[in-house]
Amino acid sequence: MPKRLIAVLTALLLLPVLAPTPAGAAATVWHVVRPGETLSYVAALRGVTAGELAAWNGIPANVPVQVDAVLRLNQPDVPLPDFRTRIELVTPASVNWKPLKRCPVLPINLRRVWVSYIDFTGAHRDGSVVVRKDVAERAQQAFGTLYRWRFRIMGMAPMSINNPTEKNMATVTAGYNCRAVGGTSVWSEHASGTAIDINPFQNPMIRGRSIAPAGSQFYLQRDRYLIGMVHPEGAARAFMWNDFHWGGRWTSLKDYMHFSLTNK
Q: Flag whether pLDDT at 21 surpasses 70.
A: no
Burial of 252 (0-12, 13-18, 19+ CB in 10 A): exposed
Q: Flag whether pLDDT at 83 surpasses 70.
A: yes
Total count of domains within the chain: 2
3-state helix, strand, coil in the chain (%, to 5): 30, 20, 50
185, 156: one domain = yes
State the Cα–Cα distance between residues 134 and 111, nearest whole angstrom: 9
Residue 12 located in a structural domain: no
52, 177: one domain = no
Which of the listed residues 62, 79, 96 is the one where a domain comes to its end? Answer: 79
96, 62: one domain = no
71, 89: one domain = no
State the Cα–Cα distance between residues 159 and 170, nearest whole angstrom: 12
pLDDT score recorded for residue 23? 33
Give the model confidence (pLDDT) of 145-191 as tens digits.
999 999 999 999 999 898 888 878 888 999 999 999 988 889 999 99
Which is more confident, 231 or 12? 231
230, 183: one domain = yes
171, 242: one domain = yes
93, 224: one domain = yes
Residue 111 located in a structural domain: yes
pLDDT score recorded for residue 216? 96
Angle at 151 between CA 149 and CA 153, to 5 degrees: 150
Residue 37 located in a structural domain: yes
The count of other CB atoms within 10 Å of the CB of residue 49 is: 12
* Residue 28 pLDDT class (50, 70, 90 cuts): low
Q: Flag whether pLDDT at 245 surpasses 50.
A: yes
Give the model confidence (pLDDT) of 115-137 as tens digits.
999 999 999 999 999 999 999 99
DSSP per residue, 131-186: EEGGGHHHHHHHHHHHHHTT-B-S-BB-HHHH-TT---GGG-BB-----BPTTSSS
Q: What is the DSSP letter of 187?
A: B
Domain that holds residue 74: 28-79
Determine the longest span between alpha carbons in the chain, in angstroms.
91
Sign of the dihedral defined by the CA atoms of residues 184, 185, 186, 190, in that order: positive
